[in-house]
Amino acid sequence: MKLRLYTSLGLGVCLVCVFAPHLSWALGMTGTTYSVQFDSLNSGGNNSVSSNYMTEDTVGEMATGISSSTNYVMLAGYQQMNVSFISITAPADGTLPSINGLTGGSGVTTIEWTVLTDNFAGYALSVKATSSPALQATTGGAFFADYTLKGASPDYTFAIANTTSEFGFSPEGTDIVARYKDNGASCNTGASDTVNKCWDPFTTTNTTIAQSTGSNHPSGTATTLRLQAESGTAHIQDSGTYQATLIVTAVTL
């Protein structure tokens, strides 16, 4: 069974450079309780607001504007700095182990994405399937049903009836959202990220699996998606090649 993967971004990647005029400079300020993302030396400026808009202006900057070539983009000046970048890795298609259609069994694989952003507000990572059910035979119409939850929260343990076949996922990583954290017995509670726990079904709408509240530049953060397909011992699964197409999207917040 093959899993075909697509990754997408909510914001394009750009290279940001700042040049300061002679005899003046700008410096990002940080402390244990604060961080100033952008600062600048200018001769004037002001914030203007109303019930419908907000404008921030500066006066006295030199050599501002956007310059580009085939290899770079330069945004010079304080106002030009109000951008951030985000990137996501694009792993190869994953493959689940074969499952015996007569006696049943299960197959598990993992796929990892690393999101990198300098956005001070962080990012969100989501996943969805392009079809329902997500895992379907390439010919013939057979499928694995999307995983059936026992309640509103993810199931701590992957468990199906022996008369069916189902397919689901469990995310793992330091940035996974509260829904997939556990207390050692239940999901959507506690602060642990126990491996091979907290299972959910795929849907055709985005499900947020990881999120941060700040920049993770320059190292980035990896999130692993654990995928499992299982056929019950009293279920006959048609032979064939099965495929799920997943779309994973990273956006800045």
Residue 222 within a domain: yes
Residue 17 within a domain: no
> Tokens representing 33?
């309780």
Asked if residue 217 and residue 117 are part of one domain, the reply reads: yes
Asked if residue 184 and residue 77 are part of one domain, the reply reads: no
d(CA 71, CA 83): 18
Residue 19 within a domain: no
- pLDDT at position 29, please? 62
- From the centroid of its chain, how far is CA 192? 19
Asked if residue 131 and residue 78 are part of one domain, the reply reads: no
Residue 170 within a domain: yes
- pLDDT at position 42, please? 62
> In this model, does residue 190 exceed pLDDT 60?
yes
| pLDDT tens profile 231-245 | 999 999 999 899 999
- pLDDT at position 50, please? 80
Domain that residue 41 falls in: 29-82
- pLDDT at position 43, please? 62
Asked if residue 94 and residue 173 are part of one domain, the reply reads: yes
Residue range 167-178: average pLDDT? 98
Higher pLDDT, 158 or 9: 158
Residue 23 within a domain: no
> In this model, does residue 163 exceed pLDDT 50?
yes
Q: Which candidate, 133, 147, 125, places its Cα nearest to that of 231?
A: 147
| pLDDT tens profile 128-138 | 999 999 999 98
Asked if residue 76 and residue 179 are part of one domain, the reply reads: no
Which of 39, 64, 82 finishes a domain? 82
Asked if residue 150 and residue 117 are part of one domain, the reply reads: yes
| pLDDT tens profile 65-112 | 777 788 776 767 666 655 678 999 988 888 898 999 999 999 999 999
Asked if residue 236 and residue 189 are part of one domain, the reply reads: yes
Phi, psi of 12, deg, nearest 5: -70, 160
Count of domains observed in the chain: 2
Number of neighbours of residue 80 by Cβ within 10 angstroms? 17
Residue range 164-188: average pLDDT? 98
Which of 61, 82, 103 finishes a domain? 82
At residue 204, the 3 state secondary structure works out as: coil
Bridge partners, 215 (sequence order): none
> Tokens representing 12?
């394009």
The amino acid at residue 195 is V
Residue 71 within a domain: yes
Asked if residue 230 and residue 163 are part of one domain, the reply reads: yes
Asked if residue 56 and residue 99 are part of one domain, the reply reads: no
Asked if residue 151 and residue 103 are part of one domain, the reply reads: yes
Asked if residue 194 and residue 115 are part of one domain, the reply reads: yes
Residue 18 within a domain: no
- pLDDT at position 74, please? 72
- pLDDT at position 35, please? 62
What HEC string does 8-31 produce? Answer: EECCCCCCCCCCCCCCCCCCCEEC
| pLDDT tens profile 7-61 | 444 332 222 323 333 333 444 566 666 666 556 666 666 777 787 776 767 776 6
| pLDDT tens profile 197-223 | 999 999 999 999 999 999 999 899 999
> In this model, does residue 250 exceed pLDDT 80?
yes
Asked if residue 134 and residue 36 are part of one domain, the reply reads: no
Residue 96 within a domain: yes
